[in-house]
Amino acid sequence: MDVVQLLQRHAGQWSRATRHPLLLAVRDGGLAPAAFDTWLAQDYRFVDALLGFQARLLGRAPRHAQAVLAGGLVALVEELSWFERLAVERDIDLTATPRPATVGYGQLLNELDKAQFPLALTMLWAIERTYLDAWSFAAPGAAAYRAVVEHWTTPGFAAYVDALAVAATHTQPDQAAVDQNLPRVIDAEIAFWDMAWESP
Ligand code: HMH
């Protein structure tokens, strides 16, 4: 599976997820702190769900994909600590009720638990690649958000996303299943930005 080709097949939708108005506002500084805080509390929930998904994926991974998934799991645990530090700094309640977009994305992850490994891995790559591209679009970010943008655009994160792409390239997901599920992942990403942007 050539994952780069996938981006080209879904380019229009992909750009709505990676060039969202919220990201432009992160870049130019126009983003309301409340919208950012909503995103942060909800993304904390999402990362927690992603950690569970990825742990289960590691449990059924073929030998070649174990290291990248295990490394990613450790990074996600650290990610949760990073959110917790930021929440203290910004006085954000991380126990906020999950919004529909967050619940919906969690349900999609639960469905991917039942998908064949090649498809689930390819979707994990898409989840992370979307995020890398989105934050790269917002770079360097206005002063208030610069540290957050840097966090999501580090060379380490980019290398991880590349390593997921290599692992996905070594699997053979069913093309029809990819074409059916990739738009669902990208839609979930767009809905996640919309949620914070439209109703902070
Ligand atoms: C919504 N997508 C969303 N949040 C994230 N933290 C990532 C992807 C990357 O882990």
- For residue 186, the domain's CATH number is 1.20.910.10
Percent of the chain with pLDDT over 90: 94
Domain ranges, residue 132: 3-195
What lines the ligand 1 site, CB under 6 Å?
Answer: 43, 46-47, 50, 127-128, 131, 189, 192
Q: Whole-structure pTM over 0.85, yes or no?
A: yes
On whether residue 200 sits in a domain, the answer given is no
In which region does residue 29 sit, left (phi positive, over 0), alpha (psi from -120 to 50) or beta (all else)? left
18 CA distance to ligand 1 middle (Å): 12
Which pLDDT score, from 0 to 100, does residue 1 have?
A: 66
On whether residue 24 sits in a domain, the answer given is yes
On whether residue 41 sits in a domain, the answer given is yes
Rounded to whole angstroms, the Cα distance separating 183 from 53 reads 19
On whether residue 170 sits in a domain, the answer given is yes
| Tally of domains in the chain | 1
Percent of the chain with pLDDT over 70: 100
Rounded to whole angstroms, the Cα distance separating 36 from 147 reads 13
Rounded to whole angstroms, the Cα distance separating 29 from 91 reads 20
Terminal CA-CA length for the chain: 38
On whether residue 16 sits in a domain, the answer given is yes
Rounded to whole angstroms, the Cα distance separating 193 from 42 reads 10
On whether residue 165 sits in a domain, the answer given is yes
Q: What is the pLDDT of residues 106-145, one digit of tens each?
A: 999 999 999 999 999 999 999 999 999 999 999 999 999 9
136 CA distance to ligand 1 middle (Å): 13
